[in-house]
Amino acid sequence: MESPQDLAAEAARLRREIERHNHAYYVLDAPVVPDAEYDRLFRRLLEIEDSHPELADPVSPTRRVGGRPAAGFKTVRHARPMLSLANAFDEDDVVAFDRRVREQLGGLLPAGEDVAYACELKFDGLAMSLRYEDGLLVRAATRGDGTTGEDVTTNARTVRAIPLRLPEPVPLLEVRGEILMWRADFERLNARQREAGDREFVNPRNAAAGSLRQLDPAVTASRPLRFFAYGVGESAIDLPGTHAGLLDRLAGLGVPVGPRREVVRGAAGLLDYFARMAVERARLPFEIDGVVYKVDRRDWHERLGFVARAPRFAVAHKFPAEEAVTELLGIDVQVGRTGALTPVARLAPVFVGGVTVTNATLHNEDEIARKGVLIGDTVVVRRAGDVIPEVVRTLPDRRPPQARAFVMPAHCPVCGSAVVREAGESVVRCVGGLFCKAQRRQALLHFAQRRAMDIENLGERIVERLVERDLVRTPADLYSLDKGTLSGLDRMGDKSAERLLAAIERSRQTTLERFLFALGIRHVGEEVARLLAAEYGALEPIVVKDWAALLERKKEVQRENAKRRTRGERPLPVPLEGVGPEIVDAVAAFFAEPHNLEVIAKLRAAGITWPQTEGMRALREAARDAAPATGVLAGKTVVVTGTLSGMSRDEAESRVRAAGGRTASSVSKKTSFVVAGEAAGSKLERARELGVEVLDEAAFVELLACGAPLRSEPTH
């Protein structure tokens, strides 16, 4: 058991460290540790102060919110404190929150009835207060330390999402919400920072805060900031009696409020909402770090009251940390199916993103050098959803004297073959090809995956044994396996062998696009495989194609079309439009390799077949002299993005083609319009950049029905 002196010393150290992080986060906009590390320090200090009241300090960071206002802005005292929320980190915390609410409400809650809660997303941005008098924005202030913030009115006026005038001349209304930045906008901002040689921002929250708190408003005006309201402070107008109704009222006044809002009942409803939003999280265009639960009835808020730094009627349920701090113990090198050597960080185990992480990708040599990573460093690790964990940055102030640099090996760590780095590439590759067991193993797994040949039950362990015993050297060898061979493998009984053989047998009937994807041709993913299959309809034309001539033909057609556009004539179809020179070169190199042709011949001899079609090329040649396409979308190129409520994306694209149009997978100046569903991302942003017309789903349906869209999204 720790002595009182030891606990006092630890509490003092924690206060100093938390204050340092507060200053870096709230004042300098330059966080040095992830939120998870900060939360861990804060919870430990709370634990000490709660269990040992004699060690409490009236100026402890647990007694106030955030940090002091930065110099350079006039200070603003909030009429009502802008408090932060208590955190819930697991189901037990949420159940306990609901139990406390019910107990404190006592007889106000009818017997047997669950509490109604308003649920919202927890935006990862900068808290703001917007004060409207007679319907006009007169002041904007940051939260600061919760009592006093910074007057950033001039800067806030440059944020287009913030209304300067409300549609009603309300005498007084203080709107509280969050300034944030979309992920796509953040990536573009950092790209501009790199090009200009300026410091990059750590994350969208850091970028939003740094952008709003510029002394030069012109800088703020150049940054793509957004705003979502989540509540009110002072008010001189009648407001709805529920929090959900309050947000609807703000939306009616033209104030942006967040999506995915719901009212649920009881702890079960809260946990269900949390689980669904955890799935939605990766599809949102902005960062969230959790969800917020608030008792929906606003007249109960006063009854429930407040603790020192947070209201009792609300709690923030945080997602598992996506960033954490740990030690980089070493760097190993993995060899992928294309021979690429990838450095992988070996880490001291750390819990991040809901799992314990011991390895994280470092991408390549250039990334290691750019981030200044040394073996032995203390590093920040990030994991988002199902994304592979990565080392984000180092903490140089914690670097030990014995830290050392990483050197990429000159020979493949699996087969000993030489490694090369092609001009213009950041990846180092093993030249061992199928001689290299690592590439053989990964090539087989790629061949068997669900989106390729879909050989169920052929997982990593079985492939490992087949390769180690040299039973399978190429994908074609899979089709000569028998029950006796498979049953002889470790942990592979007769039943398992029969199931695997049945899956291999089923895979003999496939599609051309799946087969092309399964071959593992460099740069040929599912979309390119689909384009090749649709263009030629059979494998033989692809194998014998003069790809150099195709590239030249593409250039000729593009030149001819440029002339036709000036003459107002209909353009010629571009061969394999969307497939660039890099992909063509990779396809040509693959089919020029005799060994690859030998493997393909063995696969065909093993009985792998697919339906033969005419192919788009043949169909275009047959229809070359036919009448021009008709239909409301004749001559139009359409991109469909996001989630549509009334149809799938495939169905929407089929309807485009049925109406005489063509679909594309990316937005360009040639795009006629974009159909944008819910959670549309980078393609929608690209359309706005290029000034391409954007239709919502209703306008798209009306266009198909009557030929004239009734609603479209402004592109300005």
Catalytic residue numbers, as ranges: 122
Q: State the CB neighbour count (10 A cutoff) for residue 149.
A: 23
Candidates 174, 315, 310; CA nearest to 239 is: 174
Three-class DSSP category at 666: coil
> How long is the chain?
716
What is the C-alpha to C-alpha distance for residues 466 and 447, in angstroms, rounded to an integer?
14
Pairing of the two strands 662-663 and 637-641 = parallel
Three-class DSSP category at 215: coil
Strand partners, 87: 316
714 in the Ramachandran plot: left (φ > 0), alpha (ψ -120 to 50) or beta?
beta
Contact 550, 575 (CB under 8 A): yes
Contact 190, 201 (CB under 8 A): yes
What is the C-alpha to C-alpha distance for residues 512 and 537, in angstroms, rounded to an integer?
8
Residue 363's φ and ψ, nearest 5 degrees, are: 70, -70
Tokens of 70: 């930065």
What is the C-alpha to C-alpha distance for residues 514 and 537, in angstroms, rounded to an integer?
13
Quote the distance between the C-alpha of residue 86 and its chain's center. Answer: 27
What is the C-alpha to C-alpha distance for residues 236 and 135, in angstroms, rounded to an integer?
11
Residue 459's φ and ψ, nearest 5 degrees, are: -100, -175
Contact 587, 459 (CB under 8 A): no
* Sheet strand arrangement including 87-88: 87-88, 314-318, 288-295, 116-123, 262-265
Contact 501, 481 (CB under 8 A): yes
Candidates 104, 80, 100; CA nearest to 88 is: 100
Q: Which residues contact 333 (CB under 8 A, 6 or more apart)?
A: 341, 342, 343, 344, 408, 409, 413
Contact 41, 62 (CB under 8 A): no
Q: Residue 350 is inside which H or E element, if any? A: strand 340-352
Pairing of the two strands 637-641 and 428-430 = unpaired
Residue 183's φ and ψ, nearest 5 degrees, are: -60, -45
282 in the Ramachandran plot: left (φ > 0), alpha (ψ -120 to 50) or beta?
alpha
Residue 125's φ and ψ, nearest 5 degrees, are: -145, -145
Three-class DSSP category at 655: helix
Q: Which residues contact 181 (CB under 8 A, 6 or more apart)?
A: 125, 189, 204, 205, 207, 208, 211, 223, 224, 225, 226, 286
Tokens of 342: 């990838």
Q: Which residues contact 16 (CB under 8 A, 6 or more apart)?
A: none
Amino acid in the structure at residue 475: P
